[in-house]
Amino acid sequence: MIDLLEVAREVIRIEMDAISDLEKRLDDSFIKACEILYNCKGKVVVTGIGKSGIIGQKIASTLASTGTPAFFMHPAEGMHGDLGVLSRNDVVIAISSSGQSEEILKILPIIKRFGVKLIVMTGKKRSALAKAGDVVLDISVKKEACPLNLAPTASTTVTLVLGDALAVALIKLRGFSENDFAIRHPGGSLGRRLLLKVSDLMHEGENIPLVHEITSMRDVIYEITSKKLGVTGVISDNGELIGVITDGDLRRALEKFEDLLNRKAYEIMTKNPKWILKDELAAKALETMERYSITSLFVFDKDSNRKPVGIIHLHDLLKAGVV
Helix axes 217-227, 247-256, angle to 10 degrees: 150
Which stretch of DSSP H or E encloses residue 297?
Answer: strand 296-300
Chosen domain end from 146, 176, 206:
176
Arithmetic mean of pLDDT over the chain: 89
Task: Look at 19 and 80; give whichever has higher pLDDT.
Answer: 19
Query: Residue 321 has what pLDDT?
Result: 76
Report the candidate in 135, 136, 128 with the shortest Cα–Cα distance to residue 106: 128
Q: Are residues 154 and 198 in the same domain?
A: no
Task: Look at 303 and 29; give whichever has higher pLDDT.
Answer: 29
CATH number of the CATH domain containing 70:
3.40.50.10490
Q: For the residues 95-120, what does the mean pLDDT come to?
A: 91
The reply to whether 31 falls in a domain is yes
Q: Are residues 199 and 62 in the same domain?
A: no
Q: Are residues 28 and 158 in the same domain?
A: yes
Q: Are residues 16 and 165 in the same domain?
A: yes
Q: For the residues 24-49, what does the mean pLDDT come to?
A: 95
Q: Are residues 46 and 167 in the same domain?
A: yes
The reply to whether 188 falls in a domain is no
**Percentage of the residues of the chain whose pLDDT score is greater than 90:** 67
> Tens digit of pLDDT for each residue in 111-149?
888 889 999 999 999 999 999 999 999 999 999 998 888
Residue 78 has pLDDT above 80, yes or no: no
Residue 317 has pLDDT above 70, yes or no: yes
Whole-prediction pTM: 0.58
Residue 246 has pLDDT above 80, yes or no: yes
The reply to whether 183 falls in a domain is no
Number of domain units in the chain: 2
The reply to whether 170 falls in a domain is yes
CATH number of the CATH domain containing 264:
3.10.580.10
The reply to whether 202 falls in a domain is yes
Q: Are 119 and 33 in contact (CB under 8 A)?
A: yes
The reply to whether 25 falls in a domain is yes
Q: Are residues 36 and 64 in the same domain?
A: yes
Chosen domain end from 116, 146, 176:
176
Pairwise CA distance, residues 92 & 111, whole Å: 8
Query: Residue 195 has what pLDDT?
Result: 67
> Tens digit of pLDDT for each residue in 200-238?
999 999 999 999 999 999 999 999 999 999 999 999 999
Query: Residue 115 has what pLDDT?
Result: 87
The reply to whether 181 falls in a domain is no
Q: Are residues 56 and 123 in the same domain?
A: yes
Residues 6+ apart with CB under 8 A from 56: 46, 47, 48, 72, 93, 95
Query: Residue 61 has what pLDDT?
Result: 92
The reply to whether 185 falls in a domain is no
Q: Which domain holds residue 60?
A: 4-176
Q: For the residues 162-185, what does the mean pLDDT come to?
A: 78
Q: Are residues 95 and 207 in the same domain?
A: no
Q: Are residues 158 and 13 in the same domain?
A: yes
Query: Residue 323 has what pLDDT?
Result: 66
Pairwise CA distance, residues 10 & 243, whole Å: 53
Q: Are residues 141 and 72 in the same domain?
A: yes
Q: How confident is the model at residue 77 (pLDDT cuts 50, 70, 90)?
A: confident
User: 230: phi > 0 → left, psi -120 to 50 → alpha, else beta; which?
Assistant: left
Q: Are residues 110 and 205 in the same domain?
A: no
Chosen domain end from 148, 176, 204:
176
Q: Are residues 163 and 25 in the same domain?
A: yes
